[in-house]
Amino acid sequence: MAAMTKKLRPASSWRRKLFMASFLLPTFVLFSVFTIYPLLRGLYLSFFDWSGGSETMSFIGMDNYKELFTDPIIPTAIANDYFLIFWKVILILLFAVFFAVALTRLKLKEYGFYRVVFFLPNIISVVVIGVLWSFIYNPSLGFLNAFLSLFTDTPVTTNWLGSAGSAIWSLLPPSVWAGIGFYMLLIIASILAIPSSLYEAASIDGAGEWKQFTTITMPLIWEQFKTSVIHITITTLNGSFIIVKLMTEGGPDNQTQVLGYYLYQMGFKQFHMSYGATIGVLILILSLLTTLILQRILHRETIEM
Amino acid sequence: MKSKLRKKVTGGLALSLVLLALSGCGGNSANNNNQASESPSPSSSAAATEAPSGEAKISGDFEIQYFVGGYGDAWWKEMIGEFKAMYPDLNIKESAGSQINEQMKPRWIQGDPPDVVYIDGAGSNETQMVQDDQLMDITDWVKDAQNVDGENLVSNLIAPPQDYNGKNYTIPLVFGSWGTFYDAKLFEDKGWTVPTDWDSFLATSEKIKAEGINPYIHTGKYPYYIVGGLLNSGFVSENGDNAQILKDQEAAKENSFNNDAVRKTLEKVVEMRDKGLIDNASFGMNHTDSQMLFLQHKDAMIPNGLWLENEMSKDTPEGFKFGFIPSVMQNAGGKYVAIPYTSNIAIAKKAKNPEAAKAFIEFIFTKKAAVRWAELTGALMNVKADLETSSASDVVKTAMNYFNGSDTIVAPVFKLNADLEQAQNDATIALLQGTITADEWIDRMEKAAAKVRG
């Protein structure tokens, strides 16, 4: 018996390894081809001068990175990116948590209906959202000005997407509106996982809804909340490109420029593909740094239920 | 039992590897098969009877890449069909579509380009292609080239092949001009005078404004519309009608932006801005939206290109009449300045069948083809042809009369470097917003030009 197990072990461990490899290897290969390779390729390109169309490219060392520091548009783009992150995190999570708590704790009859309504923007393509909101903002034919004009004597002709003061603010409502539903579902899921006995005990002890929210709900959904903050941050840094491309193309005069769109503009419209790759590296570094910092700031002791 | 499991596992592994390999292959081959379609067999019997010109050694594979946009592909299909009839031994491959520039890009980078390329649409830029050394130097060939009708090819052109430091790489195929469009019907009804110079432009604009209509709208999201339709003509007018200033700007020469001609032009723009003649809705608005406001009589004038009438034909209300003036920035008594735009055709430097490519270009640059172009696209081909009897649009015919008249200067074809163009777009919008001054505009452009010079 003992001899048998001894004999079996190497074979079974080989089998086990093969079994694991059959899952890990394809994943790893795909990950390497579609994530690691483009990442390294981007990094490699950033040391060259390449238009994106020619057969040859010349090595220029750190010149693209030096250029990053002298380019006046880069600070604007970074500022705009963090402006969007700041307000998106605050507004999306404010609404998402509010709706999630309202739908789960207040035991609304129309729970299912609201859940679908709030999630609806998430299943609409971002392209549709961008075009839709461009129509809403249209200064002479748009819904927003027509609506505001109901309350004023003279027609409102504010150019929301075209004025220096309002352009970047105008990108917020569509982004926030499109984001609430998803994070609301995440938070609903984690609220539903909280044992109702905790709430019952709390109310017996005389804790009101607000007290229950701050001492039971928030601490117990904190992990989910933290994940949401970081996810919004990363997706904004990488994905605000879409809404900018659709609504303003970074204009007027770079007032809504973000790194993602600037990368595209440099790479594909101004024919500096390698400089675009350098901006990509910058986005990667900023994403990593921001995530690390947020991890530190948002860190709490895990509460075991 | 043991071997059974092992079989399953290895089988699964093999399967996943095969799948992986397949997906890899798919990615590769997709790059190389760009919507290529064999050319249709020639349908026109008239073309088939045409005698092949002399030695018919034009044979083998021949590939042409063309962007399909506002002009459609009817003209291309017709020309390629007739060309095929003339050279039956030729195996013509068309790589065409609205996304063709992106689709063909990997092949250009790999050094496997088509033979002939029509450069138009998003993602294409002939100046960049020349810089990237992708196009064939045709200087020596083009100056003596004859079209199939035996006429000198270049002397037939409205705009000559673009000059890159004394060399030619492209031939303009489509010719058009920027200018100011006005709502002709509205002008007639209200009795407004059509501007002939800057002062009358301001006077008319004030009258329009007094009627509660916005005098002027532009495409703020794409500022090159107002640059092409307003600023550039001003630069030439204020430069004593000398269009060399635009070529200097194209070459990013020092002080090509920092001079009196530019300063005076910008002052005029500022005057227009401060008098409130520009519709505030312009900012951030795309071309379709701004053109819709123009068609709805909410704005009386718009800087645009000759494609406007065609582009908006589906949305043009009944009875709307387009009016066209090449420029409004000239001082009293000054000449009109037409700022041209072109879309070019070129032979790839690494063309595999350059003989067929040259034959094709000789084949399409004829007066007959130009008339067909005007009829099929409603726009102008870059060949001097009599269009009066053709079905080209009225605006195009009006424009043609301006170009042929002695009161109009047609500036040479030029295209700013992509970086300069972007800087100019940004600076112009900022100037119109009032966030920068004319001097800051000039300063920005000189800096951008210095950077381009390197």
Strand partners, B93: B38, B63
User: How high is the pLDDT of residue B47?
Assistant: 41
B134 band by pLDDT with thresholds 50, 70 and 90: very high
Query: Which percentage of chain B shows pLDDT scores above 90?
Result: 60
- Whether residue A69 is contained in a domain is answered as yes
Contact status, residue A261 vs residue A250, Cβ threshold 8 Å: yes
- Whether residue A303 is contained in a domain is answered as no
Q: What is the pLDDT of residues A177-207, one digit of tens each?
A: 988 999 999 999 999 999 989 999 999 999 8
Chain B residues 253-282 with a CB less than 8 Å from chain A: 279-282
- Best of B221, B291, B293, B315 to mutate (most A CBs within 10 Å, chain A): B221
DSSP B55: -
Residue B159 above 50 pLDDT? Answer: yes
CATH 3.40.190.10 residue window(s) in chain B: 39-175+342-406, 176-340+411-453
For tokens 């397949």, the residue is B22
Residue B374 above 90 pLDDT? Answer: no
Residue B40 above 60 pLDDT? Answer: no
Residue range B51-64: mean pLDDT, rounded? 70
Distance between CA A189 and CA A178 in Å, rounded? Answer: 19
- Whether residue A83 is contained in a domain is answered as yes
Residues from chain A contacting residue B131 (CB–CB below 8 Å): 51, 54
Residue A39 above 50 pLDDT? Answer: yes
Residue B316 above 50 pLDDT? Answer: yes
Distance between CA A280 and CA A264 in Å, rounded? Answer: 10
Which is it for the CA torsion A286, A292, A296, A298, positive or negative?
positive
Residue range B407-414: mean pLDDT, rounded? 90
Residue B38 above 80 pLDDT? Answer: no
Note whether A253 contacts B220, CB cutoff 8 Å.
no
- Whether residue A41 is contained in a domain is answered as no
Phi-psi region of B54 (alpha: psi -120 to 50; beta: other; left: phi over 0): left
User: How high is the pLDDT of residue A8?
Assistant: 54
Q: Angle of helix B367-377 relative to helix B74-86, nearest 10 degrees?
A: 150
User: How high is the pLDDT of residue B25?
Assistant: 40
User: How high is the pLDDT of residue A10?
Assistant: 65
Residue B18 above 70 pLDDT? Answer: no
Does the structural domain B176-340+411-453 have CATH classification 3.40.190.10?
A: yes
- Best of A246, A253, A255, A268 to mutate (most B CBs within 10 Å, chain B): A253
Give me the domain span that covers residue A269: 63-298
Q: What is the pLDDT of residues A233-246, one digit of tens each?
A: 999 998 889 999 99
Residues from chain A contacting residue B133 (CB–CB below 8 Å): 54-55
Query: Which percentage of chain B shows pLDDT scores above 70?
Result: 88
SS3 call for B278: strand
Strand partners, B301: B182, B216
Note whether A253 contacts B430, CB cutoff 8 Å.
yes
Any residues with CB less than 8 A from the CB of B222 and at least 6 apart, and which?
B286, B287, B425
Q: What is the pLDDT of residues B78-116, one digit of tens each?
A: 999 999 999 998 999 999 998 899 899 889 988 999 999
Separation in Å, CA of B114 to nearest CA in chain A: 14
Which pTM does this prediction carry? Answer: 0.84
B145 phi/psi in degrees, rounded to 5 = -65, 145
Separation in Å, CA of A75 to nearest CA in chain B: 16
Residue in chain B nearest A247 by alpha carbon: B284
Of the candidate ranges A63-72, A120-129, A179-188, B16-25, the one whose mean pLDDT is the lowest: B16-25
Q: What number is the ipTM of this complex?
A: 0.85
For tokens 């070529």, the residue is B247
Q: What is the pLDDT of residues B276-291, one digit of tens each?
A: 999 999 998 888 899 9
**Spatial CA neighbour of B181 closest among B295, B286, B274:** B295
- Whether residue A14 is contained in a domain is answered as no
- Whether residue A54 is contained in a domain is answered as no
Cα angle value A203/A207/A211 (rounded, 5°): 130
Residues from chain B contacting residue A164 (CB–CB below 8 Å): 433, 435
Q: What is the CATH number of the domain that holds A97?
A: 1.10.3720.10
User: How high is the pLDDT of residue A9?
Assistant: 63
User: How high is the pLDDT of residue B48?
Assistant: 40
Q: Which residues of A touch B (CB under 8 A)?
A: 11, 15, 18-19, 21-22, 25-26, 29-30, 33, 51-55, 138-141, 157, 159-164, 167, 248-249, 251-254, 265, 268-272
β-strands B116-119, B340-347 pairing = antiparallel
Residue B35 above 60 pLDDT? Answer: no
Note whether A55 contacts B221, CB cutoff 8 Å.
no
- Whether residue A10 is contained in a domain is answered as no
Establish if B293 touches chain A: CB-CB under 8 angstroms.
yes
Note whether A252 contacts B430, CB cutoff 8 Å.
yes
Separation in Å, CA of A166 to nearest CA in chain B: 11
B77 phi/psi in degrees, rounded to 5 = -60, -40
Q: What is the pLDDT of residues B208-217, one digit of tens each?
A: 999 999 999 9
Query: Which percentage of chain A shows pLDDT scores above 90?
Result: 65
- The mean pLDDT value of chain B amounts to 86
Residue range B109-134: mean pLDDT, rounded? 89
Distance between CA B436 and CA A105 in Å, rounded? Answer: 54
Phi-psi region of B311 (alpha: psi -120 to 50; beta: other; left: phi over 0): alpha
Residue B400 above 90 pLDDT? Answer: no
Q: What is the pLDDT of residues B160-194, one digit of tens each?
A: 898 888 899 999 999 989 999 999 999 999 999 99
SS3 call for A301: coil
User: In this structure, which amino acid lies at residue A18?
Assistant: L
Please give the distance of CA A45 from its chain centroid, rounded to a whole number: 26
**Spatial CA neighbour of B83 closest among B53, B107, B109, B112:** B53
Establish if B123 touches chain A: CB-CB under 8 angstroms.
yes
The full DSSP string for B134-190 is -B---HHHHHH-B-TTS-BTGGGBSSPPPPBTTB--EEEEEEEEEEEEEEHHHHHHH
Distance separating the N- and C-terminal Cα atoms of chain B: 72
- The mean pLDDT value of chain A amounts to 90
Residue A7 above 70 pLDDT? Answer: no
Element (H, E) at B421: helix B418-433
Name the residue among B19, B125, B284 with its Cβ closest to that of A161.
Answer: B284
Residues from chain A contacting residue B105 (CB–CB below 8 Å): 52-53
**Spatial CA neighbour of A157 closest among B278, B268, B202, B225:** B278
| Domain B39-175+342-406, CATH | 3.40.190.10
